[in-house]
Amino acid sequence: MAAPPLLILQDIRLGFGTTRLLDGASLSVAPGERLALVGRNGSGKSTLLKIAAGLIEPEGGTRFLQPGATLRVLDQEPDLSGFADVMSYVEAGLGPADDAYRARYLLESLGMSGAEAPAALSGGEARRAALARALAPSPDILLLDEPTNHLDLPVIEWLEAELAASASALVLISHDRRFLESLSRAMVWLDRGTTRRLEQGFGAFEGWRDQVLEEEERDAHKLARKIVREEHWLRYGVTARRKRNVRRLENLQTLRTKRRERSTAPGRVSMAATEAGGSGNLVIAADNISKSFGDRPIVQGFSTRIMRGDRVGILGPNGAGKTTLLNMLIGTLAPDAGQILLGAGIEMVGLDQRRAALDPAVTLAEALTEGRGDMVHVGGAPRHVLGYMKDFLFTPEQARTPLGALSGGERGRLMLARAFAKPSNLLVLDEPTNDLDLETLDLLQELIADYAGTVLLVSHDRDFLDRCVTSVIAFEEAGRWQEYAGGYSDMVAQRGHGVRARAAEKQSAAPKREASVPAKPAPRKKGLGAVEQHELKTLPAKMEKLAVEIAALEKRIADPAFYARDAAGFAKSTSALGAAQAALQAAETRWLELEILREESGG
């Protein structure tokens, strides 16, 4: 018999003025459940989550929380005032029976010591502290609203593994598709104030949503209801966009194959000859470039050639130097050594994610036309502003809306519209996916796929990279960068792991700082640190899981009819097997290292 739900919301209703945000929404959370809450930007997802947490009182409906059940919510705007340091803030969220050691482990895993002063924290650091406070008690229910915002890839993948191993029931709101696919086991779709539930993970959601919308469209026609054209497009256009993106992914695979076949080791002579020929094929050529800040190397001896039509992703942990490398490649920052050559006739456009150029008093139409009538010049041809707005999911009624009244997602779409209206052949996107909802990410993916020029992209979004880029330039260690053909998943298959934190660089830098100090005997290590203890405890289960995965993949590949039946699936399984075997080897090596360390310290 299934356990009764821990949390139930029924017939929740809430409005602002004449607008009904929630109109009969429901939510049920059982012990250990993994729910993803999805919906259009502004549909009320965060509001419903706050009602679930008891932070907002609805106008109607009921909320029931099982007596004794513990619930924690990730605070989007954490208030650390009144706390001496971050550790005090996190420990204040613990109950009498909770483990204080876990608070320290979480902060260390999130790259913080706990001694940081609250007043000196950046917005991203404050979010990490709030995340540690929410996770530390191991509650019965954990409500997470955009938990991956402002986290880099190593921390996102750590958080993914941490939540997967958690016994808490999860309700997630996120724009990170890979994160949702990994963690969700059921979906709650908030649409026009009401909710629908699918008892499958995010991987099945988009196809199911399209089917629901198509059935609604047929029913509306059968009942002879008049569907307003613009509203029909806004709702049902998503189906067509998703189907177009499936075809574009197939085209992207062709581009990646060409990229893989092309040599990526340019020489000085051939680079100069290509540029002098004026063919326009060469966009950027870097020959053995290096850059350091003080004693710290950012880029060491990196070479690449980027040709017209390439879509190149740059990825690495925070502080690795992604933006520095990007600025060198586009010519705004000179390397300390080596040579950067830019092709002739480059017209570059970047995306301002800070949205500093937006005047809140200007209307949406004026921001697109720059106050010059009703036409927007796109690709050298004039287009009416209302038609161009529609491409970016705006309705004609929003043309006179002041920018100050737009939501965050709408402002993100406006910045995309402004950037793509300018003539360019090189598009530079530094963290373009921050704070964008799923449908705006779909739109950006579509725009990149249709873009005729070259794209340089810095992102922590693994799924977005897989959908958009032909190659990735990945941080390795101590200023070394390596280019891999394909997307993020292709890189993982080739090198056996994803993006790692800069721990190795920190360790290698330590002896340099101590070189001028008289040598002292190294003290004997008293025991494993908090993170190491947790690693040693969890690695056996991870190794067992990988062994089961490897056995299943080997059995699947051993089927002699598999390749003939599904060549693409065979290639995917082979890559997955290699990645799993490399991960198992790394886990076994790490477990052995920790076991030796524990025995030596007498732990």
What Å distances lie between residue 402 and 1, 9, 96, 359, 440, CA to CA? Answer: 55, 35, 50, 9, 20
**CA 64, CA 155: separation in Å to the nearest integer?**
34
Rounded Cα distance between 148 and 158, Å, is 11
Give the DSSP H/E element, type plus range, for residue 485.
strand 480-485
26-57 residue pLDDT tens: 999 999 999 999 987 778 898 999 999 999 99
Write down how long the chain is: 603
d(CA 10, CA 199): 18
DSSP of 14-66, one letter per residue?
EEETTEEEEEEEEEEE-TT-EEEEE-STTSSHHHHHHHHHTSS--SEEEEEE-
What pLDDT does 218 receive? 74
Indicate if the pLDDT at residue 169 is higher than 90: yes
Angstrom distance (rounded) from CA 327 to CA 321: 10
Backbone angles phi, psi at 187, to 5 degrees: -120, 140
How is the beta sheet containing 141-145 ordered, strand by strand? 71-73, 141-145, 169-173, 34-38, 186-191, 194-198
Q: Please, what is the Cα angle at 282 between 277 and 285, to 5 degrees? A: 115
Whether the predicted pLDDT of 85 surpasses 90: yes
Q: Which two tokens stand for residue 54?
A: 């008891």
- Which region among 474-488, 507-521, 541-555 has the lowest average model confidence (pLDDT)? 507-521
Which residues, including other chains, have CB under 8 Å from residue 266's CB and lie 6 or more apart? 285, 287, 303, 304, 305
**The residue type at 77:** E
pLDDT band at residue 448 under the 50/70/90 scheme: confident
How much is the pLDDT for 37? 96
Q: What is the pLDDT of residues 272-286, one digit of tens each?
A: 222 333 335 888 999
With 50 as the cut, is the pLDDT of residue 193 above it?
yes
428-443 pLDDT tens trace: 988 888 767 787 788 8
Query: How confident is the model at residue 508, as a pLDDT?
Result: 38
* Residue pLDDT, tens place only, 212-252: 888 877 776 655 544 444 445 455 455 555 555 666 666 77
Is the pLDDT at 498 greater than 80, yes or no? no
Residue-level pLDDT at 521: 39
1 SS3 class: coil
**Confidence class of residue 404 from pLDDT cuts 50, 70 and 90?**
confident
- The three state secondary structure string of 173-187 is ECCCHHHHHHHCCEE
DSSP string, 162-219: HHHH--SEEEEE-S-HHHHHHH-SEEEEEETTEEEEESS-GGGHHHHHHHHHHHHHHH
Q: Whose CA is closest to 262, among 26, 470, 31, 568?
A: 470
Q: What is the pLDDT of residues 91-132, one digit of tens each?
A: 998 988 888 889 999 999 888 899 999 888 877 788 889 999
Percent of the chain scoring above 90 in pLDDT: 32
Query: Residue 500's Cα: distance from chain center in Å?
Result: 15
**Band of pLDDT at residue 420, cut at 50, 70 and 90:** confident
Do 176 and 439 contact (CB within 8 A), yes or no?
Answer: no
Q: What is the pLDDT of residue 381?
A: 80
pLDDT digits (tens, 9 = 90+) for 504-546: 444 333 333 333 333 333 443 446 777 777 777 888 888 888 8
Average pLDDT over residues 264-293: 58
